[in-house]
């Protein structure tokens, strides 16, 4: 009676404990107020978490009206409800797999294209939806507004919806983001605060539409407590810790001859599966990029100095 969707995606993050996990691209420095936040979550878990006031505070902090969601994942499903059914969806070939999976779930026609915005622009059709991850996952390439212009123009000329996934924006030096009436921006605190278990993100663009289909109480009491502390923190945690990640990123780039605009790298290693297993045998977890269509590459994140040194040594030996 119910048939499964014949498309799946794979994600990073350890499925078992005891491994030094480089497969998930997260800030390795947790907020100092984490324990207090969990105590607050415990204290408010006996009532429904209404967070409209917190949403207003976040809008003031960001400088634009936002719609709070349970991470970017919920935002993608809201997009499916609002915009994907019966439409053509343009997705780059080597990028986050949930765009294509969500399109299949909602019965959209998927068109795969190059990762470069000026080439992807050629595939934009009237009333289509275009997904673009910036910086891109898994290669970490960031395109500035000037470089995105062909894609922005193509979307505007064809009355298409351009969905920009800016999940890793916190790690980009001198980050910039385009404006546009037909642009939706998806953002999350998962990466910058290193808390993937706390599902809090937000959408910029079309607030009334997104709020009309949003699941009530979606972020739970822990998410509401996180937003309370985030608003009090005023993003100071990012200003304090991201420069530490930049410093380590530059060191890894020199040591392994890799390059990225984000907090993770891909490296061509030949047989990615073989290298992943060899590193696992040493207690280190990296991500095979096979699910991205890059079976010869692995992806690994930037962690603390002593952890990065372990990975660099192991990669050179392997």
259: region left, alpha or beta (phi > 0 left; psi from -120 to 50 alpha):
beta
Q: What is the pLDDT of residue 318?
A: 86
Mean pLDDT of the chain: 94
Q: What is the pLDDT of residues 136-148, one digit of tens each?
A: 999 999 999 999 9
* Residue 1 pLDDT grade (very low, low, confident, very high; cuts 50, 70, 90): confident
Phi, psi values for residue 242, rounded to 5°: -60, -40
Contacts from 183-192 at CB under 8 Å and sequence distance 24+?
183/152, 183/155, 184/79, 186/72, 186/75, 186/76, 187/72, 188/71, 188/72, 189/226, 189/230, 190/26, 190/71, 190/72, 191/25, 191/26, 191/27, 191/167, 191/263, 192/27, 192/237, 192/238, 192/242
Q: What is the mean pLDDT of residues 210-236?
A: 96
Give the pairing type, strands 161-165 and 129-133. parallel
- 3-class DSSP state of 10: coil
Quote the CA–CA distance of 134 and 260 in Å, as a whole number. 12
For residue 135, pLDDT beyond 80: yes
Q: What is the pLDDT of residues 268-309, one digit of tens each?
A: 999 999 999 999 999 999 999 999 999 999 999 999 999 999
Q: What is the pLDDT of residues 37-78, one digit of tens each?
A: 999 999 999 999 999 999 999 999 999 999 999 999 999 999
Q: What is the pLDDT of residue 111?
A: 97
For residue 236, pLDDT beyond 60: yes
Can the peptide bond before residue 141 be classed as cis, meaning omega within 30 degrees of 0?
Answer: no
Distances (CA, A) of 140 to 115, 203, 276, 318: 12, 21, 20, 23
Residues 148, 114: contact at Cβ < 8 Å? Answer: no
Quote the CA–CA distance of 182 and 34 in Å, as a whole number. 37
Nearest to 169, CA basis, from 84, 274, 89, 263: 263
Q: What is the pLDDT of residues 183-213, one digit of tens each?
A: 999 999 999 999 999 999 999 999 999 999 9
Q: What is the mean pLDDT of residues 110-131?
A: 97
The whole-angstrom distance between residue 142's C-alpha and the CA centroid of its chain comes to: 13
Q: What is the pLDDT of residue 306?
A: 98
* Residue 10 pLDDT grade (very low, low, confident, very high; cuts 50, 70, 90): low
Axis crossing angle, helix 52-62 with helix 220-233, rounded to the nearest 10: 40
Residues 125, 155: contact at Cβ < 8 Å? Answer: no
Higher confidence at residue 273 or residue 16?
273
Helix H or strand E encompassing 79: helix 71-79
């Amino acid at each position: 009676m119910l048939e499964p969707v014949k498309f799946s995606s794979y994600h990073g993050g350890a499925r078992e404990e005891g491994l030094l996990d480089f497969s998930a691209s997260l800030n390795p420095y947790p907020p100092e107020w984490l324990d207090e936040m969990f105590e607050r979550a415990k204290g408010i878990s006996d009532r429904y978490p209404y967070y409209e006031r917190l949403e207003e505070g976040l809008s003031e902090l960001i400088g634009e009206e936002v719609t709070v969601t349970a991470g970017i994942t919920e935002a993608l499903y809201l997009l499916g409800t609002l915009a994907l059914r019966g439409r053509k969806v343009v997705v780059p070939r080597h990028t986050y797999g949930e765009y294509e999976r969500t399109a299949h779930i909602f019965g959209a026609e998927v068109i795969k294209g190059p990762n470069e915005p000026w080439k992807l622009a050629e595939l934009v059709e009237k009333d289509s939806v275009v997904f673009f991850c910036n910086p891109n996952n898994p290669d970490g390439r960031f395109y500035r507004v000037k470089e995105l212009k062909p894609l922005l123009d193509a979307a505007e000329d064809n009355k298409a919806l351009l969905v920009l996934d800016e999940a890793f924006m916190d790690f980009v030096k001198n980050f910039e983001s385009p404006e546009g009436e037909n642009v939706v921006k998806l953002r999350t605190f998962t990466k910058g605060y290193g808390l993937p278990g706390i599902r809090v993100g937000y959408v910029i663009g079309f607030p009334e539409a997104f709020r009309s289909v949003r699941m009530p109480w979606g972020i739970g009491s822990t998410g509401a407590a996180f937003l309370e502390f985030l608003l009090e923190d005023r993003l100071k945690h990012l200003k304090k810790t991201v420069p530490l990640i930049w410093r380590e990123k530059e060191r890894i780039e020199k040591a392994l001859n890799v390059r990225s605009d984000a907090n993770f790298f891909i490296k061509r290693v030949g047989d990615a599966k073989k290298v992943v297993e060899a590193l696992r045998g040493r207690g280190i977890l990296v991500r095979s990029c096979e699910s991205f269509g890059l079976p010869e590459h692995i992806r690994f994140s930037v962690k603390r100095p002593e952890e990065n040194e372990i990975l660099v040594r192991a990669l050179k030996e392997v």
